[in-house]
Chain A
């Protein structure tokens, strides 16, 4: 038996009503193991105008590369209290900011390890279904061997990689269109 998956529809301009009671912009407790970071950026539309009615959701592993999900069957304990889920609403400038820890490496296709990354789910008015992208970390040597980054045309990979503003503070922007259009995945 196979049921038909329910179709996606846009969150519309009033997503704040639905999303604001579950905002997590601090993903890791101070005591959490790992490298603590802040990541900030803006979401811009095809005219470079801020997307001021969007939401960014983050999904990530803990510093040991374990997801706080029963679907992760790796024989590792998850960091106590670490959920790995973040959600921010973009502000009037299309900006968002969150703090977290750099995740560990998790297995990828064929058992090869993936480079540390965050999954990013993006919702906004004008998006009939959500967008999926990833954040990788600048200067991480594992990026060179990441099985997912390898699928991305070389000249577009930089759209998925943070820029270091100062130690512990990283920038990552979303360009919906234009020469620096962010890479989005077909998932």
Chain B
């Protein structure tokens, strides 16, 4: 069997390093020895497949999981899942989790003095369609303090977990909201060295997908790594 075609390595400075001391928890949890460069083999270019048995249509609506409506601003969050070569990634599983509108997670270790919302779990998932589109209905999460440094606050964000076609396309990221003054102060956001790559984590206000009288909308396109396509030699001698 011939070698599989691997995926391109990330562009210089567009991904965070493991060690980023301004985010304190990285100090004891990042490798200190050199990483070993891994060629992409069949193991790395294959990945798990999820389907309609795993994901129910209602799973993408985080406002409809309890008897009552959650508190907060209802929002539609949608976008496309593509690879670097602009190819849509279809039937991909996207998991999403978040805090409530007051900035509190439904999690045992979150002791922030803000109310839990009995009508909000903060979890959803969706499969992308044939064109790579996905859509969530949720409420806008609040900002919240954390103990990384004095007066540290996380900007409002949603957590995304994405399974692509191959193991090396696996991605967990966070989506931010436009115009949030906390971006400048956030070590996680600022851990990405390249300014353009950083800004790509900020969603765009999406007027065309707002639902009159119901919800505002934000657009967040997600790009997974692309395959190193065999280059066609078009040079003329």
Give A residues with C-beta under 8 Å from B: 1-19, 21-22, 45-47, 49, 51, 53, 57, 59, 61, 67-72, 74, 83-85, 106-111, 114, 117, 119, 121, 123-132, 147-148, 151-152, 156, 176-177, 181-187
Known: A2-B85, A128-B191, A152-B36. A7 touches B123 (CB 8 A): no
Contact B170 A71 (CB under 8 A): no
Decide yes or no whether B72 CB sits under 8 A from chain A. Answer: no
Please provide the chain B residues from 4 to 20 with a CB less than 8 Å away from any CB of chain A in the complex. Answer: 10-11, 14-18, 20
Decide yes or no whether B145 CB sits under 8 A from chain A. Answer: no
Cα distance A187–B2 when bound, in Å?
A: 20
Cα distance A85–B51 when bound, in Å?
A: 13
Cα distance A85–B159 when bound, in Å?
A: 21
How many A-B contacts are there with CB distance less than 8 Å? Answer: 240
Q: Mark B94-125, 1 if CB is under 8 A from A, else 0.
A: 01110100000111011000000000011101
Q: Mark B146-190, 1 if CB is under 8 A from A, else 0.
A: 000000000000010100011110111110000000000000110
Give B residues with C-beta under 8 Å from A: 1-3, 10-11, 14-18, 20, 23, 25-33, 35-49, 54, 82-86, 95-97, 99, 105-107, 109-110, 121-123, 125, 159, 161, 165-168, 170-174, 188-189, 191-192, 196-198, 200-201, 222-226
Contact A123 B172 (CB under 8 A): yes
Contact A22 B54 (CB under 8 A): yes
Contact B38 A126 (CB under 8 A): no
Contact B159 A8 (CB under 8 A): no
Contact A19 B95 (CB under 8 A): yes
Partner of B159, one of A18, A70, A108, A148: A18
Cα distance A20–B136 when bound, in Å?
A: 19
Known: A126-B29, A177-B32. A7 touches B48 (CB 8 A): no
Cα distance A68–B18 when bound, in Å?
A: 31
A70 to chain B, nearest CB (A): 7
Contact A3 B49 (CB under 8 A): no
- The chain B residue sitting closest to A127, CB to CB, is B29
Which residues of chain B are near A152, meaning CB under 8 Å? 36
Which residues of chain A are near B224, meaning CB under 8 Å? 5-6
Which residues of chain A are near B18, meaning CB under 8 Å? 127-129, 131
B58 to chain A, nearest CB (A): 13
Which residues of chain B are near A177, meaning CB under 8 Å? 28, 30-32
- The chain A residue sitting closest to B44, CB to CB, is A187
A55 to chain B, nearest CB (A): 10
Contact B109 A68 (CB under 8 A): no
Contact A156 B23 (CB under 8 A): no
Known: A4-B196, A5-B11, A107-B1. A68 touches B171 (CB 8 A): no
Contact A84 B172 (CB under 8 A): no
Cα distance A184–B192 when bound, in Å?
A: 20
Contact A186 B36 (CB under 8 A): yes
Which residues of chain B are near A7, meaning CB under 8 Å? 14-16, 173, 192, 197-198, 200-201
Contact A130 B170 (CB under 8 A): yes
Cα distance A150–B163 when bound, in Å?
A: 29
- The chain A residue sitting closest to B96, CB to CB, is A18
Cα distance A121–B97 when bound, in Å?
A: 19
